[in-house]
Structure 1
């Protein structure tokens, strides 16, 4: 089972079936907040939907293509951070994340992503990571920029958010650019 202690306040733990109720409650509590930027929120309406997501995430973990973690902040679930769509033949993967509405502005995501990037480059030996965020999602984009990801482009109308398309910024980093190396 994957577990990573980020610092004295934060840890990342592989999402498990027993986390379903906690994850669903966090999603439900932050639903309107998350819906501003995440297209999956309306597809996660019930505890059963969350359980199905966890089942799929665990299968992808077993297949070595995804690592979906629950972010624990001061002993309570704060959000999720994933290293996903790992392409071992290209030594590449993607980073995706979200935080519950009460956990923003505390550095939780930047510290968590810093640890995940270090794990991806240092432990897994990946060479390239990508991160995508809606152009207008300043908080998400600032996490990428604080970590040293470079904006490599913009994808026009790349995501459908319920009733409109949004443009997406694409960020990338290669292992040689990682400041921890």
Structure 2
């Protein structure tokens, strides 16, 4: 996962993880009891996470982040988790727009929004510093009206 997740080198201790969990709990409280991120549990193990890295309440936009451990990939786990997050974002959080950004060369990460009906709206040059270089990102968006018009059950 390190190839595409620049924050991994900043988690060096149990305290680092604890601080992250405390920040997530605070966000939960600040968001009126609605969580913004979720652990993905598969067969009793933490397989990954999916959630909103940012929620702009005024403009009703959520920015999604996700990762899945290598041994869990290829089983449709992230697709189901991501679909659930989209439903949650539109129905419970009242979002109008959900955004995803992924490194151009990160084919696995880009396949998910493409599979779920997001529109690639453009590219951002040198959008992220990954260890020793800048990488460009593809930028995707999905509107609430597009999700519902896709004949998904209400």
| TM-score normalised over the length of structure 1 | 0.78
Output the CA distance in 1 between the equivalents of 2:92 and 2:35: 15
Aligned pair count? 148
Counterparts of 1:154-169 in structure 2, within 5 Å, are 154-169=123-138
1:96-140, Cα deviation, whole Å (9 max, x unpaired): 100111111111111100011011112222100001110000000
**How many Å apart are 1:45 and its aligned residue?**
1.5
Counterparts of 1:47-66 in structure 2, within 5 Å, are 47-64=14-31
Structure ranking higher in helix proportion: 1
RMSD: 1.4
1:87 matched to 2:56: yes
1:145 matched to 2:114: yes
Mark the runs of 5 or more structure 1 residues left unpaired by the alignment.
Answer: 1-33
Counterparts of 1:29-48 in structure 2, within 5 Å, are 34-48=1-15
1:22 is aligned to none
| TM-score normalised over the length of structure 2 | 0.91
Secondary structure of 1:39 counterpart: coil
On the 8 A contact 1:149/1:172 being kept in 2, the answer is yes
On the 8 A contact 1:154/1:169 being kept in 2, the answer is yes
Counterparts of 1:74-113 in structure 2, within 5 Å, are 74-113=43-82
